[in-house]
Amino acid sequence: MKTREVPAGWGSSAAGVDGGPTGGPIQRQLTQGAAVELLGVSRWYGNVVAVNDISFVLGPGVTGLLGPNGAGKSTILHMLAGLLRPSDGVVAIHGSPAWRNPSVYRDLGLVPERESVHTFLTGFEFVRLNARLQRLPDADGAARRAIATVGMEDAADRAVGTYSKGMRQRVKIAGALVHDPSILLLDEPFNGMDPRQRLHMMELLGRMADEGRVILFSSHILEEVERLAQNVLVIVSGRLAASGDFREIRRLMTDRPHTFTLRSSDDRRLAAALVGHPSVFGVQLDGGRLAVRTSDYAGFARALPALARAGGVSILELRPTDEDLESVFGYLVQR
Amino acid sequence: MTGNGSPTGNGTVTSPAAGGPAPGRSSVIVTIAALTARSLLGRRRSLFLVLLALLPVAAAILVRLSGREGAGSQEVATAIMDRLLVTTLLPIVGLVFGTAAIGAELEDGTAVFLLVKPVDRWRIVVAKLIVAVGLSIALVAPASFAAGAILQPGGTGLSGAVGAAVGTAIGATVYATVFFALSLVTGRALAIGLVYVLVWEGVLAGLLEGVGALSIRQYTLAISAAIANPEVVDPGLLDARVALVLSVVAVAVAAVVAVRRLASYEIGQAGD
C-alpha cells in the first residue's frame, strides 16, 4: 500500500499532530489514490461520542454503511460530504480534505436523507439548478440527461411538491448526479419507498456502480444492503464493527444462534418433534408459546414445515424473537 | 477493503482558486438570488408583509381625508411615521426576510443541496443578502415615501418623504443584514430579533444613554431627519453622520460574520 503523509493544518487536531491518551505524535498516512478515505476519524458532541476512531478507504463499487439507528451513519456521511467537521482525524476526498473545501464537490454528489428540495420547483428546474451551481456549460442538457438516468422524464415538468417519496428521492439523485461525479453518497436512500421503488433504486445504483463510480449508501436494513452492496461497513455505537465482503459478514450473521417463538395447534407434540432435529439446540414451553433456539437458520427453516406435517400439527404463528438489529450487530461486535 | 483501486472519472480535484468552466461566477450569484427571491416571495408571509406595508399608507390617507389640521395632525403624522413605519414595519420586514433568506433553508434542509456545490460560501451570502435587503427596501421605502408625501410631517414638503424613504431603506439594509447574520449564529434568530426590537430598541434605548449607538431604529431616525429637516422632524438620539457610519459598520460586520459562519456551518446531529 502506497502512503503519503498528511499535510499539516487539516481538521482540528489533524494527522501528524500529537494526540491520543498515549501521548506522542501519531504518524497517520493517507492511502495514495484513494477516492474516499477516513483516517482515525472521531466526532463528538460535548461528552457524547458519535463516531469513534474510524478508518476506511473506499474504491469503485457499491458500499453499504450498515448499522442501527443512531449508530453514527449519518454523522459519517455528513463528514464525508464536508458538512461536519471531524473532531479528530482526516476525512479526504481524492486526497483533499472534505471540510471547508467546496472544491471537492466538483467530483462528489450527496443525496441527503431529509427532504431537501424546494417544493415549488419542478423536477427539471431543481436538477438544472444543481447543474448551474456546478457551472456546467450546458445546464439544460446536463439536467435532461440526469433526469433520464433516473427515469423521471415524464414527471420532470411537475412541481416537486406533487411527487411521491420515491420520485423525490430519484430527483434528488438526479441533482446529485448532474455533474457526473465519480463519488456518490446517499443517506438512507430507501427510506419511505415502496418495494417497486426500492427495486428501481437498486437497479439504478447498481448501474452507476458498474460505470465505475464510488457509491456509499447508509441503511439500517440488512436486506437492502445484502441485495446491493458488495462491500459493507458495519457501524455500531459509533465504531466500525466489521468491514469487508458482505457474504462473509452475512455468514457470521446467519450462523449466530436464532430464537423463534411458535404458536401451533399442539405445542407439546411439536416441541417433541423439534428437539430431535440437529438444527435445534433448545426448546422451551412457556405459557402457550413455544420458544425454539437454533444454530442453523436455513436448516431449521427447511425442517420446520416437514416436522409439523409429520406430527400432524398446524403452525399458527412463527416469529423471530431476536431479529432486532441491535442484537445482530451486538453479536458481530462480540466476534 | 482497503487500498482497493484508484479513483474513477474526473478524479483530480482542482484548487478552489482555479477558474470554473463556461458560465461565469456571477451567474452563480444570480442563480442563487433568483431561487432565494422565489422562495421568499412564494411564502404566505410575503402577502402579510405587503398588507402590513400598506397599513401606514392607508392610515396616512385616512388622516388627510379626515381634514385634521394643526398640532393634533402633527402628532398623528409622527405616530404613523415613527410608530407604524420605523418602529413596527421596518424591523418586522427586516427580521422576516433577513432570517428567512438562509435561516429557514438551513432549518428545513433545503440549504444542503446548495452547500454541497463548488461555490464559495461568500457568494451564497452575497446572493442571499442582495435579495433579503432588496426585498426589504422594496417593501419599506415606497411605503415610507408614500406615507411621508401624504402626511408631510412638519410641512417639510417632499423632503420629509425622501428622508423617510432613504432612512428606512438604510434601516432595512442594516436590519436585514444583521438578522441574516443572526440566523447563521443561532437557530433562535427570530425570537432574539424580536427581543432586540421590542426590548432593546423599544424600551432600553429610550431609558439609557449610549444604547442609541446600538439601535438600528436610531440610525434610521437620524438619517431620515437629516434629509427632511432636523428642526421639524425628531432626529432621535444620534447625529446623522454618526448614524451613517454606524450603519455601514453594522452591515460590514454582519456580512463578515455571516460569511465566516456559513463557511464553517455544520449540518447533522449526534443522533442519526
The pLDDT of residue B63 is 87
Residues of chain B with pLDDT under 70: 1-26, 68-72, 154-156, 230-232, 268-272
Please check whether residues A260 and A217 belong to one and the same domain.
Answer: no
Q: Are residues A261 and A235 in the same domain?
A: no
The range of the structural domain enclosing residue A264 comes to 256-334
Last residue of a domain, one of A236, A252, A268: A252
Compute the distance between CA of residue A102 and CA of residue B121 in angstroms, rounded to an integer: 8
The CATH number linked to A275 is 3.30.70.100
Residue A177 maps to a domain: no
Flag residues of chain A having pLDDT under 70.
1-28, 250-251, 253-255, 322-335
Which residues of A, range 256-315, sit inside 8 Å of B by Cβ?
Answer: none
Of A45, A72, A133, the CB nearest to B272: A72
What's the whole-model pTM score?
A: 0.81
Task: Report yes or no on A144 lying in a domain.
Answer: no
Window 122-181 of A, Cβ < 8 Å to B: 129-130, 132-137, 139, 172, 175, 180-181
Q: Using CA atoms, how far apart are residues B128 and A119, in angstroms rounded to an integer? A: 19
- What backbone torsions phi and psi does residue A219 show, to the nearest 5 degrees? -160, 150
* A87 and A202, same domain (yes or no): yes
Pick from A84, A110, A130: which is nearest to B266 by CB?
A84
Q: For residues A16 and A91, give the distance between their C-alpha atoms in angstroms, rounded to a whole number.
A: 14
Most B CBs within 10 Å, among A56, A103, A125, A171, to test the B interface? A103
Q: Do residue A223 and residue A264 come from a single domain?
A: no
Which of B112, B114, B264, B266 is the best mutation test for A, with the most CBs of A within 10 A? B112
The number of C-beta contacts closer than 8 angstroms across A and B is 175
Report DSSP state, residue A162: G
pLDDT at B24: 60
Q: Looking at the structure, tell me whether residues A273 and A323 fall in a common domain.
A: yes
Q: Are residues A317 and A269 in the same domain?
A: yes
For chain B, give the secondary structure using H, E and C: CCCCCCCCCCCCCCCCCCCCCCCCHHHHHHHHHHHHHHHHHHCHHHHHHHHHHHHHHHHHHHHHHHCCCHHHHHHHHHHHHHHHHHHHHHHHHHHHHHHHHHHHHHHHCCCHHHHCCCCCHHHHHHHHHHHHHHHHHHHHHHHHHHHHHHHCHHHCCHHHHHHHHHHHHHHHHHHHHHHHHHHHHCCCHHHHHHHHHHHHHHHHHHHCCCHHHHCHHHHHHHHHHHHHCCCCCCCCCCCHHHHHHHHHHHHHHHHHHHHHHHHCCCCCCCCC
- Residue A191 forms part of a structural domain: yes
Chain B residues whose beta carbon lies within 8 Å of the beta carbon of residue A60: 5, 8
From edge to edge, which strands make up the β-sheet containing A289-294? A280-286, A289-294, A258-264, A315-320
Q: How many structural domains comprise chain A?
A: 2
C-beta neighbour count of B136 within 10 angstroms = 30
Instruction: Name residues whose C-beta falls within 8 Å of residue A64's C-beta, 6 or more positions apart in sequence.
Output: A216, A217, A218, A219, A224, A225, A228, A229, A231, A232, A233, A246
**Confidence at residue B191, expressed as pLDDT on a 0 to 100 scale:** 95
Q: Are residues A198 and A99 in the same domain?
A: yes
- How far apart CA B64 and CA B148 sit, in angstroms, is 12
The answer to whether residues A107 and A71 belong to one domain is: yes
- What is the reported pLDDT for B154? 66
The pLDDT, as a whole number, for residue B88 is 93
Ordered by start, the domain boundaries in chain B are: 43-263
Residues A208 and A231 in one domain: yes
**Domain assignment present for A47:** yes
pLDDT at B65: 87
**Do A214 and A103 lie in a common domain?**
yes
**Candidate from A56, A108, A172 with C-beta closest to B1:** A56
pLDDT at A323: 55
Asked if residue A141 is part of any domain, the answer here is no
- Tell me A102's DSSP state: G
Contacts of A93 in chain B (CB under 8 A): 13
Q: Do A108 and A27 have their domain in common?
A: yes
For residues A144 and B272, give the distance between their C-alpha atoms in angstroms, rounded to a whole number: 33
Residues in chain B, how many? 272
pLDDT of residue B209: 73
Per-residue pLDDT at B18:
37
| Minimum distance, in Å, between the CA of residue A35 and any CA atom of chain B | 5
Question: Between vectors from CA B254 to CA B253 and to CA B258, what angle results, nearest 5°?
Answer: 120
Q: For chain A, what's the residue count?
A: 335
Same domain flag for A15 and A105: yes
Grid coordinates standing for A241? Answer: 464493527
A46 to chain B, closest Cα gap in Å? 10
CATH number of residue A212's parent domain: 3.40.50.300
Picking from A202, A236, A252, the residue at the C-terminal end of a domain is A252
* pLDDT value of residue B75: 81
Domain end residue (candidates: A234, A252, A270): A252
